[in-house]
Amino acid sequence: MLRKPLALLSFLAALALTACDEGNTNRLNTGDIAPAFAASSLGAVPFRFPDDLRGQPVVIRFWADWCRFCEGEMKAIERVWQRHKDQGLMVIAVNAGQNRQDVAAFISKIGVTYPALLDEKAAISRQYGVVALPTTYFVGADGRIRGKVLGEADEATFERLTVDLLK
Range of the domain at 86: 3-166
C-alpha to C-alpha distances, 58 to 17, 109, 111, nearest whole angstrom:
28, 24, 20
Enter the pTM of the model.
0.85
Scanning 85-122, the segments in alpha helix (DSSP H) are 100-110
Mean pLDDT of the 139-159 span: 96
For 75-117, what is each residue's pLDDT tens digit?
A: 999 999 999 999 999 999 999 999 999 999 999 999 999 999 9
Question: What is the domain count for the chain?
Answer: 1
Q: Is the pLDDT of residue 14 over 70?
A: no
* Residue 91 belongs to domain with CATH number: 3.40.30.10
Scanning 111-153, the segments in alpha helix (DSSP H) are: 123-127
Mean pLDDT of the chain: 88
The per-residue pLDDT for 26 is: 64
